[in-house]
Structure 1
Amino acid sequence: MSNLIADVKIPDSKLAKEAAELLREYGDELLWNHSNRVFLFGALQGTQNNVKYDPELLYISALFHDLGLTKHYSSPDKRFEVDGANAARDFLNSHGVPQESIRLVWDAIALHTTIGVAQYKEPEVALLYHGVGYDVMGENFDAISEELRHEIVTAFPRNDFKNRIIPAFFEGFKHKTETTFGNIKADVCAAMIPDFKRTNFCDCIHHSPWNE
């Protein structure tokens, strides 16, 4: 496959290739195609808006952003976003990447589902967030032309993505549904678990150990 898709060059450094190999090894076809589309959609939006960003860091962030859903990287008690961010941090540390770059990747992955925050951070963080939003929910859909969308989806097919991604999310954190408190993945639990009871922030206040 060409490493130039929709006028975006997919990074092919040794670091980028090793990160891609990890996703190939521990992810699946759904995550592979989704993660690559996320990079391409995020990169396109960056280019269109004249945003200066590091393509390699954005690419690695995209490759790792859902790896916390996999058995290999999933912890028993952390949000899957944090598991993916920690995995990326360990990977980059092992390759001697500068700490500021590691922090950007960690933030991008950890915040990629945090609506109302991620889009206001550094370019790599914001572009990953926008790439995810574009691929999963079609946010700002017309910002990318039909021709470019077609080229990306031809290279990395959706293959019934709408119907497959919610069960895939749930599979990644069904053993720790408490980690969805206060974030949008509680919606996934509500969709997949009959009579799912969300933790309520107001209840946490009222039932706190304070005696007043």
Structure 2
Amino acid sequence: MTNIADIKIPDSKLAVQAAELLREHGDDLLWNHSNRVFLFAAMKGNLNQMKYDAELLYISSLFHDIGLTSAFRSEDKRFEVDGANAARDFLRSHGIPEASIRLVWDAVALHTSIGIVEYKEPEAALMNFGVSYDVVGKNFDLISAEARQQVVAAFPRNDFKHGILNAFLEGFKHKPETTYGTINADVCEMLLPGYKRPNFCHHVLHSKWDE
């Protein structure tokens, strides 16, 4: 049993196997980030006295970026969907009820869908909080400096700001078209040589409609 900043990291058989899967196919950057996401998400849930399933929140956090890895990245889907599909396959292989699987799928698939996921079920909304907190420091002062320090001591950042951008690029540089309309297009625009962001207005004005 591991407690960090008064948050217990789930240690059920299912949770441990999910963690082992990320450990096998991810790297230290994704491992530390995914655990920080869970911890920050759980803190937010506790602060707001929200009812949430800690095991499902943890598994969602472990899978949310696994679609960036070579083992789970597809040729034509958003990395978020690759991660959601991987989580669904994992949970189905363990006989988890479909309602729980759908919840995890949504949490993973929508975790970058700003302005939408915040209004989903607690597990999805909380994981988005954890992701936003760890990646861009959104609502940074909501969590105490002491709690932050405990989390980072257990799961170090190690130049995370630059590392995560490179991890994003590696995960979808072969399919930049999947980033259209998402925050991931920013990564391609900044780091992918020759990439030109598609423009929605251009698509509207140059559609095949005769008008």
TM-score norm. by structure 2 comes to: 0.98
3-state SS of paired residue (1:58): helix
Q: Is 1:144 aligned with 2:157?
A: no
How far is the alpha carbon of 1:162 from its aligned partner? 1.0
Q: Is 1:4 aligned with 2:7?
A: no
CA contact (8 A) 2:169 2:192 kept: no
* Distance in 1 separating the partners of 2:163 and 2:157: 10
Tell me which moved more, 3-12 or 200-209: 200-209
How far is the alpha carbon of 1:195 from its aligned partner? 4.5
Structure 1 residue runs of 4 or more that deviate by more than 3 Å after TM superposition? none
Tell me the equivalent position of 2:205: 206
Tell me the equivalent position of 1:158: 157
3-state SS of paired residue (2:70): coil
How far is the alpha carbon of 1:207 from its aligned partner? 2.1
3-state SS of paired residue (1:175): coil
Tell me the equivalent position of 2:66: 67
* Distance in 2 separating the partners of 1:45 and 1:158: 20
The aligned amino acid for 1:32 is: W
Which structure 2 segments of 5+ residues have no match? none
* Distance in 1 separating the partners of 2:30 and 2:162: 14
* Distance in 2 separating the partners of 1:21 and 1:208: 47
- Write the deviation string for residues 48-104 of structure 1: whole angstroms up to 9, x where unpaired: 011100000000000000000001000000000000000000000111101110011
* Distance in 2 separating the partners of 1:208 and 1:91: 41
- Write the deviation string for residues 117-163 of structure 1: whole angstroms up to 9, x where unpaired: 11111100000000000000001111111111000000000011012
The aligned amino acid for 1:50 is: Q
How far is the alpha carbon of 1:194 from its aligned partner? 3.7
Tell me the equivalent position of 1:170: 169
Tell me the equivalent position of 2:179: 180
Tell me the equivalent position of 2:121: 122
- Write the deviation string for residues 14-43 of structure 1: whole angstroms up to 9, x where unpaired: 000000000000000000000000000000
The aligned amino acid for 2:174 is: H
The aligned amino acid for 2:115 is: G
Tell me the equivalent position of 1:189: 188
The aligned amino acid for 2:94 is: H
TM-score norm. by structure 1 comes to: 0.98
Tell me the equivalent position of 1:131: 130
